[in-house]
Amino acid sequence: MPLSAYLSLAAVLFSIGLFGVITRRNTVGILLGVELMLNAVNINFVAFSRFHGTALGMIFTLFAICITVAEIALGLALVILLFRMRRTSTADHIDWLKG
Amino acid sequence: MTTNPVTLAILALLLPAAAFVLIAILAPLRRSGRPAAFVSIAAVATSLAAAIRTWQIASGSVEPIRAVWNWLPGANGPLATVGVLIDHQSSLMLILVTLVATLVQIYSLEYLHDEPPAAFGRYYAYHSLFVFSMMGVVLSPNLLQLFICWELVGVCSYLLIGFWYRKPEAARAALKAFWTTKAGDVGLLIGIVLLYRLAGTWDILELEHMVKGGTLATAGLGVITFCLYLGAMGKSAQFPLHVWLPDAMEGPTPVSALIHAATMVTAGVYLLVRTEFLFHETPQVLLLVGWIGGITALLAAIMACVQTDIKKVLAYSTVSQLGYMMTAVGAGFAGAGFLHLLTHGVFKALLFLGAGAVIHAVHSNEMHDMGGLFKRMPQVATVFIIGTLSLAGVPAFAGFISKEEVLGATLAGGLTGPFVMLLIGAFLTAFYMSKVVFLVFFSEPKTHGHHAGHAHSAHGHGGDPGIAMSLPLWILGLAAMAIGVYSTFFHHAAPEFTSPGWLTPVAVALGLAGIGGAYLTYQTHTISADTLASVFAPIRVAVVNKFWLDDLYLFIYRHILLAFARLIGWTDRYIVDGVLNVISAWTLDGGDALRRIQTGRVGDYIFAVAAGLLVLMLWMRGTL
């Protein structure tokens, strides 16, 4: 399969993730969207790694997965704290920065 | 004691400065009053000793002694220096300043006895600062240092005139003195800067060298000397900037004796004496100096005749005598003016201190409240009469030789008009001073004064003052006598001009005529004072109104300066500020409108970021 197929898949996945981040009102849903976007990036890394015949992209992907796990843990912790303070996990209700 | 004149002069200069810093910084010392006074007196008395020693050494050397240190560094040598210049003139002036200052400070111990200690300490702090600044003017080797000290002297004058600052007249007089002299000082500053542009130096000796060698361009020098003269005009109370000096009498009398008679007001004459060589290059300015001097001498003498306040008489008399000095300078013989400056400093300080003793005893400045005081205070009366005879130019008294020299110089310089004014002024001087003597010390005591309270105190208590006040009086009185006797009968340096033989008899006769006229008018009442008033009624109106000068200045201030200030204020408020206000209002409105796009929702921000990213990507591809 040509490289462009992998890249198109990644682009579609990224767009779905972005769409989820923008439209989801639930904070957990937003985090899931972020996950999708990161995985789209990982697909790109692996695809280029295969295409160029080097292992560098794979190693980078491993790092990215690790960081994603940490990020999710941190994100969920934030959601829980937010819920404790505001009794809600809906992102639209958290608008302290409203001008 | 060291014999290095530079060390001595700097010691004399810095001791009062140290006393000032000490009294000003150590608040407990200042608030304690008397100890502060003793610190100040000790400093200035030591300065006097150092000044006398400096003069002894300096009078032995023909060349001026100059010591300078670099101050402002410049590309081609120092831009400005500080230091001292000791010659015959500056060392004599140094003695005059320190002598009068020492005596006045001792005198003030008793005169200001009733002041609260804090005010007493403040007074001596100002005094020390003044003595330092005045010596700075005297010793300056360059015009920049002179200007700085000149301004410091002005500040001290302001502070001391306004010493009783709770009194509205005193506060007003202090401001008036400050502003009026400042008007002249602007001229002085411009003159000094222009001179630097022309000559490239501020140093007096270097300038003199350039003038003597003919390397100083004379084009434009007239403007410079005129500007320098403006400064001297303000400081030395020359017509029409003399209006501040009579008002300055609101200050304590010892201050008037030191600052407004003997030292500060003569700084203008001293400046002209110092820069005489420049003025000789510009005869037209010199002519102006002479004429203004003559006019000042005559007008002030006329105004002195109608004053009823004893200090005002002395103030106008000082203005008049400053006019004499200026006329001599204007005639081209600064030496004669300087001699009169020295003798006048001694006997006018004496007169002021004597008047202060009278005021201290009577608690009034008005001569109506005095009278017949000779019996009560014979010592004060004696020294006051010595001062009066000196001022009137009677032979064997201090003012005799110096006044002759001024008159002779004016005639020799070809200033016939001012010479006639000075002669009339000499008659009037003798007249108004004798009037004071007769009214205060000899005429019938006025028991039914207008001021009941004052009249009571005038005869309740008080004779001759105590030792702190009478000692300075006697020292100055004896000094005036000694100078007079020595210069009249024994020795006096031959002037650099010749005066005709008839001059001395005429001047002495005019002086005696003035005294006689006052005797007939105010002692025996052979000539009625009212008749005199009606004879001179036409000019009396003008004189009593001070030739409407104060009204003119007030008009200029109220209707021209204030109107201009209002115009500037309006421009600032509505045009300068207006533009800024409009811009800031727009900014505020814009911000108010723009803040609505901040929804606070995370999704909106991410959408904006993504959209922005998309736009950037398209732009990079060049499709946008």
Distance CA B10, CA B25 (A): 22
- Between the CA atoms of B400, B267, B181 and B415, what dihedral angle is there, to the nearest 10 degrees? 50
- What are the phi and psi torsion angles at B250 (to 5°)? -65, -20
Of B38, B28, B15, B236, the closest CA to residue B129 belongs to B15
State whether residue A15 sits within 8 Å of chain B by CB.
no
How confident is residue B460, by pLDDT bands cut at 50, 70 and 90? Answer: very low
For chain A, how many residues are written? 99
Q: Report the residue of chain B nearest A97, measured CA to CA.
A: B600
- Which of B596, B601, B610 is the closest to A18 by Cβ? B610
Q: Do A91 and B598 count as a contact with CB atoms less than 8 A apart?
A: no
On the CB side of B29, CA atoms within 13 Å amount to 16
Tell me the mean pLDDT in the region B349-377: 83
- Which of B596, B600, B606 is the closest to A97 by Cβ? B600
pLDDT at B448: 46
| Bridge partners of residue B80, in order along the sequence | B72
Say what percent of chain B tops pLDDT 90.
20
- Decide if the complex's ipTM is over 0.90: no
pLDDT at B133: 92
Distance CA B119, CA B29 (A): 12
| Cα-based distances in Å from B111 to B97, B425, B456 | 20, 32, 20
pLDDT at B111: 86
pLDDT at B462: 64
CA distance B602 to chain A (A): 7
| Cα-based distances in Å from A28 to A35, A66, B385, B605 | 11, 19, 109, 18
pLDDT at B571: 93
In a domain, residue A11? The reply is yes
Q: Do B602 and A18 count as a contact with CB atoms less than 8 A apart?
A: no
In a domain, residue A26? The reply is yes
CA distance A99 to chain B (A): 5
What is the per-residue pLDDT across A36-51, written as a single tens digit (0 to 9) for each? 999 999 999 999 999 9
How confident is residue B452, by pLDDT bands cut at 50, 70 and 90? Answer: very low
| Cα-based distances in Å from B195 to B29, B84, B111, B138, B141 | 44, 20, 44, 20, 15
Distance CA B193, CA B191 (A): 6
Distance CA B153, CA B165 (A): 18
In a domain, residue A62? The reply is yes
CA distance A30 to chain B (A): 9
Q: Do A94 and B599 count as a contact with CB atoms less than 8 A apart?
A: no
Classify residue A92 by burial, with Cβ atoms within 10 Å: 0-12, 13-18, 19+: middle
In a domain, residue A15? The reply is yes
CATH of the domain at A16: 1.10.287.3510
Other C-beta atoms lying within 10 Å of the C-beta of residue B570? 10
pLDDT at B624: 60
Residue B456 above 50 pLDDT?
A: no
- Which of A91, A96, A99 is the closest to B595 by Cβ? A99
How confident is residue B589, by pLDDT bands cut at 50, 70 and 90? Answer: very high
Q: Which stretches of B268-361 are assigned E, i.e. beta strand?
A: none
Q: Determine if residue B600 is left, alpha or beta; phi over 0 gives left, psi from -120 to 50 gives alpha, anything else beta.
A: left
More confident of the two residues A59 and B501: A59
Q: Do B595 and A22 count as a contact with CB atoms less than 8 A apart?
A: no
- What are the phi and psi torsion angles at A96 (to 5°)? -65, -20
Say what percent of chain A tops pLDDT 70.
99
Tell me the mean pLDDT in the region B262-278: 89
Classify residue A81 by burial, with Cβ atoms within 10 Å: 0-12, 13-18, 19+: exposed
- State the residue range of the domain holding A7: 3-92
How confident is residue B587, by pLDDT bands cut at 50, 70 and 90? Answer: very high
* DSSP secondary structure letter of residue B573: I
- What are the phi and psi torsion angles at B598 (to 5°)? -85, 90
Q: Report the residue of chain A nearest B595, measured CA to CA.
A: A99
Residue B494 above 80 pLDDT?
A: no
Burial B26-42 (b: 16+ CB within 10 A, else e): eeebbbbbebbbebbbe
Other C-beta atoms lying within 10 Å of the C-beta of residue B223? 16
Q: Do A98 and B599 count as a contact with CB atoms less than 8 A apart?
A: yes
How confident is residue B502, by pLDDT bands cut at 50, 70 and 90? Answer: confident
Classify residue B483 by burial, with Cβ atoms within 10 Å: 0-12, 13-18, 19+: buried
For chain B, how many residues are written? 624
CA distance B610 to chain A (A): 8
Say which amino acid occupies B583.
I
Q: Do A95 and B603 count as a contact with CB atoms less than 8 A apart?
A: no
Q: Do B600 and A21 count as a contact with CB atoms less than 8 A apart?
A: no
Tell me the mean pLDDT in the region B93-113: 89
| Bridge partners of residue B72, in order along the sequence | B80
DSSP B163-217: TSTTSHHHHHHHHHHHHHHHHHHHHHHHHHHHHHHHHS--BHHHHHHHHHHT-S-
CA distance A20 to chain B (A): 10
pLDDT at B98: 92
Residue B475 above 80 pLDDT?
A: yes
Two structure tokens written together for B543: 């004189």
What is the per-residue pLDDT across B165-201, written as a single tens digit (0 to 9) for each? 888 888 888 888 898 889 889 999 999 999 888 888 8
Helices (H), B413-502: 416-437, 452-460, 467-485
pLDDT at B189: 93
Within 8 A of A25 by CB-CB distance, chain B residues are: 603
Helix (H, G, I), strand (E, B) or coil at B84: strand
Residue B117 above 90 pLDDT?
A: no
In a domain, residue A88? The reply is yes
- What are the phi and psi torsion angles at B86 (to 5°)? -110, 120
On the CB side of B61, CA atoms within 13 Å amount to 16
The pTM for the full model equals: 0.76
Instruction: Label each residue of B498-533 as H, E or C.
Output: CCCCCHHHHHHHHHHHHHHHHHHHHHCCCCCHHHHH
Residue B441 above 90 pLDDT?
A: no
pLDDT at B461: 53
Q: Cβ distance B139 to B13 under 8 Å?
A: yes
Residues 71-90 of chain B with CB under 8 A from chain A are none
How confident is residue B491, by pLDDT bands cut at 50, 70 and 90? Answer: low
Q: Report the residue of chain A nearest B592, measured CA to CA.
A: A99
Distance CA B87, CA B262 (A): 20
Helix (H, G, I), strand (E, B) or coil at A12: helix
- Which of A21, A92, A96 is the closest to B606 by Cβ? A21
What is the per-residue pLDDT across B223-259, written as a single tens digit (0 to 9) for each? 989 999 999 998 988 888 888 888 888 888 899 888 8
In a domain, residue A48? The reply is yes
CA distance B595 to chain A (A): 5
Within 8 A of A18 by CB-CB distance, chain B residues are: 606, 610
In a domain, residue A61? The reply is yes
* The total number of structural domains that make up chain A: 1
Of B186, B190, B216, the closest CA to residue B203 belongs to B216
How many interchain CB pairs under 8 A, A with B? 34
Q: Do A91 and B606 count as a contact with CB atoms less than 8 A apart?
A: no
Q: Do B602 and A94 count as a contact with CB atoms less than 8 A apart?
A: yes
Who's near B15: CB < 8 A, 6+ residues apart? B43, B44, B46, B47, B50
Q: Do B607 and A97 count as a contact with CB atoms less than 8 A apart?
A: no
How confident is residue B1, by pLDDT bands cut at 50, 70 and 90? Answer: low
What is the per-residue pLDDT across B516-566, written as a single tens digit (0 to 9) for each? 888 888 777 777 777 777 777 777 777 777 777 778 888 888 888 889 999
* ω into B500 cis (within 30 of 0): no
- Which of A22, A95, A97 is the closest to B607 by Cβ? A22
Mean pLDDT rounded to a whole number for chain B: 85
State whether residue B219 sits within 8 Å of chain A by CB.
no
DSSP B135-155: HHHHH-SBHHHHHHHHHHHHH
pLDDT at B56: 85
Tell me the mean pLDDT in the region B211-219: 81
In a domain, residue A99? The reply is no
Q: Report the residue of chain A nearest B606, measured CA to CA.
A: A22
Q: Report the residue of chain B nearest A25, measured CA to CA.
A: B603
Tell me the mean pLDDT in the region B319-337: 89
Of B352, B355, B279, B281, the closest CA to residue B321 belongs to B352
Distance CA A71, CA A69 (A): 5
Measured in whole angstroms, the distance separating CA B482 from the mean position of its chain's CA atoms is 26
Q: Do B597 and A99 count as a contact with CB atoms less than 8 A apart?
A: yes
Residues 566-605 of chain B with CB under 8 A from chain A are 595-603
pLDDT at B446: 62
| Bridge partners of residue B405, in order along the sequence | none
Q: Report the residue of chain A nearest B597, measured CA to CA.
A: A99
Q: No. of H helices and E strands in chain B? A: 29, 2
pLDDT at B211: 86
| Bridge partners of residue B418, in order along the sequence | none
Residue B433 above 70 pLDDT?
A: yes
Residue among B594, B601, B604 with most chain A CBs within 10 A, to mutate: B601
